[in-house]
Amino acid sequence: MRIPLILPEVQAAILAGGQSRRMGQHKLFLDYRGNTFIAHLLIQLQQQVNEVVVAGAPVPRQLADLGVPVLEDAEPDLGPLGGMATALKHASREWLLTAPCDNPVLPANFATRLLHVAREQNVPLVYVRKVGKPQPLYAIVRRDLLGSLNAYLAGGERKVMPWYESVDALALDWDDAGVSFININTPEEYAAFLDL
């Protein structure tokens, strides 16, 4: 019996780059309910799409036991867009779903809702906005935007939102997502998150 693919046109990337300076340790290894942030994200994404990679990992060998491809950025220090470019370069599907390692919880309909909006509105990129604040690394990106992204990075640009605006990205308001999409950047924010 053949098992049907989940959203066969979508693969996902966990954006694991960043220095985590404010946290003082890599966020992807923070504990949440007995497992690491990145392990939680991987499990949730694998329930929504068939193919998941980790992009921009600072220490790839520490992630080898996850059982998924771990992609190093070809060029370091390009910020989160560098990790997105790395994932897009290796993408084999039409759409790339991205999630940063800033929070271990995703909505169960994360992939389907973003893909639906992208297709319904005929846009190449949709990102999450929660309580009026952009959460741009929670996104779905059409693979053919790689050329535009590479040109933007080659021009020395690093900021996410100006590139999004240049490709007519659409914000999806997602205020009913509970603790999902809350950025956790400091030990204080982490402690508060664990108390929610």
Average pLDDT over residues 18-35: 85
Going by pLDDT thresholds of 50, 70 and 90, the confidence category of residue 56 is confident
Q: What pLDDT does 65 receive?
A: 85
Q: Which single residue is written with the structure tokens 């220490």? A: 59
Q: What pLDDT does 63 receive?
A: 84
Q: Which domain holds residue 117?
A: 10-194
Q: Which among 40, 13, 7, 66 has a CA at the least distance from the CA of 180? A: 40
Q: Which single residue is written with the structure tokens 């999004």? A: 164
Q: What pLDDT does 61 receive?
A: 74
What's the predicted TM-score (pTM) here? 0.94
Q: What pLDDT does 1 receive?
A: 56
Tell whether the model's pLDDT for residue 25 goes beyond 60: yes
Which residues lie closer than 8 Å to 192 by C-beta, 6 or more apart? none
- Helix segments in the chain, DSSP class H: 37-46, 79-89, 110-121, 146-154, 160-166, 187-194
Specify the number of domains making up the chain: 1
CATH of residue 19: 3.90.550.10
Q: Are 88 and 143 in contact (CB under 8 A)?
A: yes
Domain-embedded: residue 162 = yes
Domain-embedded: residue 3 = no
- Alpha carbon 106 to chain centroid, angstroms: 10
Which residues lie closer than 8 Å to 153 by C-beta, 6 or more apart? 75, 78, 81, 82, 85
Q: What pLDDT does 57 receive?
A: 75
